[in-house]
Each structure stands twice: as structure tokens, then as C-alpha cells.
């Protein structure tokens, strides 16, 4: 477990908090691109107005209005908030695994290569890894193994297949409200590859926002899925019970302790995104 300061808070809080805040703060700088290419910083309000005023059709309808810019900025910025929270929490998850289970930076990263029809190789990364053999503390290792075994039994994973597994790989998401079949198929392919490489696949959803059909499909494909349920006392289905009971870190407590900081940060970002002015 982590040391605590005189207030009973984890001494890791400041470091962990900064990991998430650094990711979230990127959103405040979001500027829409208006079809001007994927690269670059996006357009300022002045550049947007110049672009739309040069376009006779848009100008006729008054679409060079600063509020139209604000609407575009808000729409893209909302997506950016979800994405950056996910990125920050993915980095946090890896760091917590590293610290709590005494793993190295190399231990918690996993990737594999795929070859396209053209023969070109591409490296795919998942969000975290725990190799059982690298957990030095026997109690922690046994606890993690028992969670893997119970999760695999819940999914009806063949005993011989489970016997070949050497650890767990993780895909971390803030939520999963989409029914994007391309993403689902990619995740299912990742799970199949994980099993062939000797790893048990687990999707970690930090919120309770996951489509029920997607959840059922992933579990049918032998993905363990834990979601943002609080108070279930079941690490086989709850992200926060898994983190506390298996990994040994109270992630829900961390988010609860820092909720005012997160809320203030998001409030400031939303006000920035909803204004036509740029920073």
C-alpha cells in the first residue's frame, strides 16, 4: 500500500493528479479546423471569419457569426474532453499498476505487430500489462492470479487455455457508449491475439457508460470487462473493486478526494470552449 501524509491522503496523490490534469488541460487549447486539414493547430476566430466571409454561400447565410465558431469549438471540444480524460486515466492506470505491484515501465507496456496484405508491418499497443512472474510480492501475485482464475471461470475460458496464461493485458476506456463495429472488431482481434501470446484480456471501463450489447459481446468473446460500478464488492465486474481488492490501490478514493479539483478544471475548460474567444 502507499504511504499516507498527515491528512490520511496518499503521498502519490499529487503525482497521480498531475498525470490526469496534464491530459485534461489540452482541451482548453482546442480550436476547430473547419476542413483545413488534419494537421496544424486549428483556426482562430479571426481566421474562421475570414475563411467564411470569403465563401459567398456561407456569407449569405451569416455563418461567419462568432457564435457559429463557438458552436464548432464546443462540439469538437466536448469530444476532446472525453478523449483527454481517457488518455489521462490510461496513463494513471499504468502508473498505479507499476507502483502498486512493483513493476517496471517495460513490464506495464504491451504491443504486438500485425502484417497487412501489402506486407507492411504495424505495431499495435494496448493500455497496460501485468506479467504475473514480475510481481515480486507473493501475496500480491497470488491475489492477482486468483482474480484471473475467477474471471476466466466466469467467462468459461477453457482450463487448458487458462493454464497457458502468464499475465493480463488491459484496454482502458473512460466509457464505451459507441456501437462502432470497427472498434469492436479491433478489440476482439486484440483479445484473440492476447490469448495466443499467453495473456488474459481485460477491458477496464472507468464510468458506468457502456452499451449493454457491447458488454455482452465482449464477454462472449472472452474479454473480461470491469466497469465503473461503485459499491458492488465484486472485483470481477467492478473497476474500483478490482483496483482496491486486487491491485491494492483505492482508485475511487483518489477520484473522490480530488473531485473538486477535477470539477473546477472541467468548469474552466467548458467556459473556454463555449466562448468564441481563443486563448
Write down the pLDDT at residue 278. Answer: 60
Write down the pLDDT at residue 128. Answer: 95
Residue 161: exposed, middle, or buried by beta-carbon count in 10 A (0-12, 13-18, 19+)?
Answer: middle
CB contact set of 178 (below 8 Å; sequence gap of 6+): 211
**Chain segment 184-211, per-residue pLDDT in tens:** 888 888 888 999 999 999 999 999 999 8
**Chain segment 7-18, per-residue pLDDT in tens:** 344 568 899 999
Nearest to 168 by CA among 111, 195, 130: 130
- Regions of the chain where pLDDT drops below 70: 1-11, 37-40, 278-279
Q: Is 238 helix (H, G, I), strand (E, B) or coil?
A: strand
Domains in the chain: boundaries: 13-273
Nearest to 15 by CA among 88, 85, 80: 88
Q: Which residue's C-alpha cell is 476566430?
A: 45
Alpha-carbon distance values, 117 to 122, 123, 190 (Å) = 11, 15, 18
Helices (H), the chain: 13-24, 45-54, 56-60, 66-100, 138-154, 159-163, 181-196, 212-220, 239-241, 251-257, 259-273
Write down the pLDDT at residue 8. Answer: 42
Write down the pLDDT at residue 39. Answer: 60
> Phi, psi (5° rounding) for residue 262?
-60, -45
Write down the pLDDT at residue 9. Answer: 45
Write down the pLDDT at residue 129. Answer: 96
Write down the pLDDT at residue 38. Answer: 54
Amino acid at each position: 500500500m502507499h504511504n499516507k501524509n498527515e491528512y490520511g491522503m496518499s503521498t502519490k496523490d499529487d503525482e497521480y493528479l498531475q498525470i490526469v490534469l496534464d491530459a485534461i488541460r489540452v482541451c482548453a487549447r482546442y480550436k476547430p479546423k473547419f476542413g483545413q486539414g488534419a494537421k496544424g493547430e486549428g483556426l482562430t476566430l479571426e481566421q474562421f471569419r475570414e475563411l467564411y466571409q470569403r465563401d459567398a454561400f456561407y456569407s449569405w447565410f451569416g455563418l461567419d457569426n462568432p457564435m457559429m465558431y463557438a458552436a464548432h469549438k464546443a462540439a469538437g471540444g466536448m469530444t476532446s474532453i472525453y478523449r483527454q480524460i481517457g488518455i489521462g486515466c490510461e496513463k494513471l492506470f499504468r502508473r498505479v499498476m507499476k507502483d502498486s505491484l512493483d513493476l517496471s515501465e517495460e513490464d506495464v507496456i504491451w504491443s504486438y505487430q500485425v502484417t497487412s496484405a501489402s506486407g507492411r508491418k504495424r505495431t499495435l499497443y494496448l493500455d497496460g500489462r501485468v506479467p504475473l512472474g514480475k510481481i515480486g510480492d507473493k501475496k500480491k501475485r497470488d491475489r492477482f492470479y486468483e482474480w484471473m482464475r475467477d474471471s476466466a471461470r466466469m467467462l468459461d475460458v477453457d482450463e487448458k487455455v487458462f493454464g497457458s496464461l502468464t499475465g493480463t493485458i488491459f484496454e482502458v476506456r473512460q466509457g464505451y457508449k459507441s456501437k462502432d463495429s470497427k472498434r469492436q472488431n479491433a478489440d476482439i482481434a486484440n483479445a484473440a491475439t492476447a490469448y495466443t501470446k499467453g495473456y488474459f484480456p481485460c477491458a477496464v471501463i472507468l464510468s458506468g457508460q457502456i452499451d449493454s450489447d457491447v458488454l455482452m459481446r465482449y464477454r462472449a468473446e472472452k474479454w473480461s470487462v470491469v466497469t465503473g460500478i461503485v459499491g458492488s464488492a465484486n472485483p470481477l465486474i467492478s473497476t474500483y473493486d478490482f483496483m482496491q481488492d486486487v491491485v491494492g490501490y483505492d482508485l475511487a478514493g483518489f477520484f473522490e478526494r480530488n473531485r473538486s479539483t477535477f470539477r473546477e478544471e472541467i468548469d474552466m475548460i467548458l467556459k473556454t470552449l463555449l466562448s468564441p474567444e481563443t486563448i
